[in-house]
């Protein structure tokens, strides 16, 4: 049954406030699954079940799909679609409130999702800050947002792009035209694969580091010295020690330098705790 037919059958009206743009082309779902290279030993966490079109394709290939959907209005549709499915576990709750530590015993954990734009940043932060170790994550984003995550140009840096690239490598999987969704959004989408790099986890606390980077970018047009003066008493001396020009702006500083900056900060006295 087509997406439009499922929605019509249950008289479902998509909620703009939840960023609901449902994938309607099953060939795109199949291509995503094919390029994900998932297998029968994998456990997949999906964020945003939606109409279940991607869930259905994933379930054909893996040991189990644990999928989260915030909109309980989709429950009748999803219950019919996955009636009798032994490897699909649907939770009608907000993923942002889920305790991810309960998945710590899953040996081959992966994430796959078509994430609404308005919570893309929050989802990424939650996974990198709270998730047990996972093999990779494959997410669909609005194209412009995805391009910012992959940004190598300093001028395109943001706190999130620095944070994401600290903890993983990011690669583009495929583009997805806006015409593959109901309703048709104003922009195209892109699918990215995030491969975790755990070398910094033991020495750099993800939540703390994210707070620190946000402070560094708190006033993008101001200098890094100005943005850090409230948490570092001797800001100029501190920046000079890591070879940063105090008059630099946040986007002028390389990713590796932010890591060095943060590690240096941890070793100094007189820094306010908790950022």
pLDDT tens digit sequence for 57-108: 999 999 999 999 999 999 999 999 999 999 999 999 999 999 999 999 998 9
What pLDDT, on the 0 to 100 scale, is given for residue 269? 47
The answer to whether the annotation marks 69 as part of a ligand binding site is yes
The answer to whether the annotation marks 266 as part of a ligand binding site is no
Q: Average pLDDT of 36-58?
A: 95
The answer to whether the annotation marks 202 as part of a ligand binding site is no
- The pLDDT of residue 187 is above 70: yes
pLDDT digits 0-9 by tens, 231-261: 887 888 889 888 899 999 998 888 888 888 8
The answer to whether the annotation marks 25 as part of a ligand binding site is no
Regarding pTM above 0.85, the answer is: yes
* Domain covering 204-265 in this structure, CATH number: 1.10.8.100
Fold assignment, 1-194: Rossmann fold (3.40.50)
- Kindly state the greatest CA–CA separation across the chain: 66
The answer to whether the annotation marks 23 as part of a ligand binding site is yes
What pLDDT, on the 0 to 100 scale, is given for residue 270? 46
Q: Are 168 and 194 in contact (CB under 8 A)?
A: yes
- The pLDDT of residue 154 is above 50: yes
Q: Average pLDDT of 109-113?
A: 96
Domain residue ranges of the chain, discontinuous segments joined by +? 1-194, 204-265
The answer to whether the annotation marks 179 as part of a ligand binding site is no
Q: How far is CA 3 from CA 9, 17, 156, in A?
A: 10, 20, 36
């Amino acid at each position: 049954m087509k997406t439009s037919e499922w929605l019509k059958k249950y008289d479902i009206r998509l909620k703009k406030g939840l960023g609901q743009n449902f994938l309607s082309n099953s060939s795109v779902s199949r291509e995503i699954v094919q390029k994900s290279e998932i297998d029968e030993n994998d456990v997949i966490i999906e964020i945003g079940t939606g109409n279940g079109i991607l869930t259905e394709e994933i379930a054909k290939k893996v040991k189990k799909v644990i999928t989260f959907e915030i909109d309980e209005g989709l429950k009748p549709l999803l219950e019919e679609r996955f009636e009798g499915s032994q490897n699909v576990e649907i939770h009608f709750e907000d993923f942002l409130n889920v305790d991810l530590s309960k998945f710590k015993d899953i040996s081959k954990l992966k994430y796959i999702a078509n994430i609404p734009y308005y919570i893309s940043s929050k989802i990424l932060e939650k996974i990198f800050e709270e998730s047990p170790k996972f093999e990779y994550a494959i997410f669909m984003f609005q194209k412009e947002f995805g391009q910012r995550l992959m940004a190598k140009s300093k001028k395109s840096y943001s706190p999130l792009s620095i944070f994401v690239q600290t903890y993983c490598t990011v690669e583009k999987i495929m583009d997805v035209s806006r015409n593959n969704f109901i309703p048709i959004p104003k922009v195209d989408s892109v699918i990215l694969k995030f491969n975790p790099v755990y070398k910094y986890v033991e020495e750099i606390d993800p939540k703390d580091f994210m707070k620190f980077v946000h402070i560094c970018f708190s006033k993008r047009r101001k200098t890094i010295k100005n943005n850090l003066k409230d948490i570092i008493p001797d800001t100029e001396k501190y920046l000079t020690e890591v070879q940063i020009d105090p008059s630099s702006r946040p986007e002028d500083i390389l990713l590796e330098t932010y890591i060095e900056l943060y590690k240096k900060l941890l070793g100094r006295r007189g820094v306010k705790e908790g950022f």
